[in-house]
C-alpha cells in the first residue's frame, strides 16, 4: 500500500547485497524492495567484488534486486585478496577474520568505505538525496554514512543489525576505540535502529542521553517468498513439532549471555524428554549454522 504521493530519495549504504549471500543481505534487500511503496526511491551504494569471511555468495538473490533501483557498485580493494586467502586456507578463515578486525579499524571494509567516499560525491550531488540510511556491520558503512551526511547536509538513519561495543566479539568489546567511535557515530545520527528489543534496551542503558533516538525494527519475512510452502511443509511434517534455529552458534554455546542464547531451550527440551519421553518423540530441533564452535 502506498502511503505517500510525494516521492523522496533515500541513499542506502549497504556492503552486503547480492551476489553476496547469507543473513546480512536480507534486511537491506527487503528494505530497498519495499521502500518505493512508502514514497521513498532508493539509490544504493554497495560493493563490487566484495567478500565476507562468514557468509558466502548467492547469485539467485540478484533476481530480487528491483530493476528500478539505481545501484552504485564500488570495488573492495581487499575483496580479491581476502577471497583468495579463505579459498586457499579454509580452516584458518576465522583466524583471518579476527586478524583483519585487529589490523583495520573499525573493520577490514574501511578501505572500501574510503574509496566510496572519494568516488561517489559528484554523482550523489545530482541525485537530490533527502535521507541517508546506513546499515552495519560492517561498521565502516556507518562511518561512510557520517562522512556523506556532512558532505550532503542530510539527516542519517543508522541501522545496527548486531550489537557493536556490546557484542561478544572480542575485538569490538575489548578495544576502547570501538566504544569511542560508536558513541561518536550515534551522537551524530538522527535515528538509530536495532533489530531486537533486548539490544535496543541495552543501548538505551549504555547511552541514556541518546535513548530518544533509538528504535527497534525487528527482522521479519517476506510472505511472497513462501506462498503455500509453509502449509505444504506442515502437511508433510508427520505431526511433529519443529523448532528451527538459524544463525551463529559461537556466541551462544557456551552461553556468554543466557538472555541471547538458546541454551535454556535445550535445557527445557531435555527436561521435557526426561519427564515425557513419548510426547518428546514428536519434537524436532533443526540447527542451521556455518559457525559451529568446538565443544
Distance CA 247, CA 22 (A): 10
Determine contact, residues 100/76, Cβ cutoff 8 Å.
no
The per-residue pLDDT for range 235-293, each reduced to its tens digit, is 555 678 888 877 666 555 454 554 456 677 788 889 999 999 988 888 888 887 765 55
Distance CA 173, CA 197 (A): 20
pLDDT of residue 229 exceeding 90: no
Closest C-alpha among 108, 110, 32 to residue 71? 32
Element (H, E) at 183: helix 176-188
Domain boundaries, the chain: 8-216, 227-288
Element (H, E) at 285: strand 283-288
The per-residue pLDDT for range 197-227, each reduced to its tens digit, is 999 999 999 999 999 999 999 988 777 766 6
Residue 186: its pLDDT value, please? 99
Enter the pTM of the model: 0.82
Between the alpha carbon of residue 108 and those of residues 25, 49, 159, 219, 230, the distances in Å are: 18, 14, 19, 25, 39
Mean pLDDT, residues 113-140 taken together: 92
Give the lowest-confidence range in 6-10, 173-177, 217-221.
Answer: 217-221
Determine contact, residues 50/20, Cβ cutoff 8 Å.
yes
The per-residue pLDDT for range 64-123, each reduced to its tens digit, is 999 999 999 999 998 888 777 767 776 766 777 778 888 899 999 999 999 999 999 888
Query: Is the peptide bond preceding residue 41 cis, with omega within 30 degrees of 0?
Result: no
Residue 183: its pLDDT value, please? 98
Distance CA 120, CA 72 (A): 8
Mean pLDDT for all residues in the chain: 85
10 CB burial (10 A radius; 0-12, 13-18, 19+):
buried
Give the CATH number of domain 8-216: 3.40.50.2000
Amino acid at each position: 500500500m502506498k502511503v505517500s504521493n510525494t516521492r523522496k530519495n533515500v541513499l542506502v549504504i549497504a556492503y552486503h547485497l547480492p551476489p553476496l549471500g547469507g543473513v546480512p543481505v536480507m534486511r537491506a534487500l527487503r528494505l530497498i524492495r519495499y521502500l518505493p511503496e512508502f514514497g521513498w526511491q532508493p539509490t544504493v551504494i554497495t560493493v563490487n567484488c566484495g567478500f565476507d569471511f562468514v557468509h558466502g555468495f548467492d547469485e539467485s538473490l540478484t533476481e530480487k534486486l528491483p530493476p528500478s533501483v539505481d545501484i552504485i557498485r564500488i570495488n573492495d580493494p581487499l575483496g580479491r585478496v581476502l577471497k583468495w586467502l579463505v579459498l586457499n586456507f579454509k580452516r584458518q578463515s576465522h583466524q583471518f577474520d579476527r586478524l583483519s578486525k585487529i589490523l583495520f579499524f573499525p573493520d577490514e571494509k574501511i578501505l572500501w568505505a574510503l574509496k566510496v567516499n572519494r568516488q561517489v560525491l559528484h554523482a550523489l550531488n545530482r541525485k537530490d538525496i533527502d535521507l541517508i540510511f546506513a546499515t552495519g556491520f560492517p561498521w565502516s558503512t556507518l562511518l561512510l554514512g557520517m562522512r556523506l551526511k556532512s558532505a550532503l547536509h542530510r539527516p542519517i538513519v543508522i541501522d545496527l543489525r548486531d550489537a557493536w561495543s556490546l557484542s561478544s566479539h572480542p575485538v569490538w568489546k575489548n578495544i576502547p576505540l570501538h566504544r569511542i567511535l560508536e558513541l561518536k557515530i550515534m551522537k551524530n545520527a538522527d535515528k538509530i535502529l536495532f533489530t531486537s528489543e533486548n539490544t535496543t534496551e541495552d543501548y538505551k542503558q549504555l547511552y541514556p542521553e541518546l535513548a530518544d533516538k533509538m528504535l527497534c525494527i525487528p527482522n521479519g519475512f517476506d510472505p511472497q517468498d513462501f506462498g503455500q510452502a509453509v502449509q505444504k511443509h506442515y502437511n508433510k511434517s508427520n505431526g511433529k513439532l519443529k523448532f528451527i534455529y538459524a544463525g551463529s552458534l559461537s556466541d551462544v554455546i557456551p552461553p556468554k549471555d543466557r538472555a541471547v542464547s538458546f541454551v535454556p531451550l535445550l535445557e527445557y527440551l531435555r527436561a521435557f524428554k526426561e519427564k515425557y519421553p513419548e510426547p518428546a518423540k514428536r519434537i524436532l530441533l533443526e540447527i542451521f549454522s556455518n559457525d559451529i564452535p568446538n565443544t
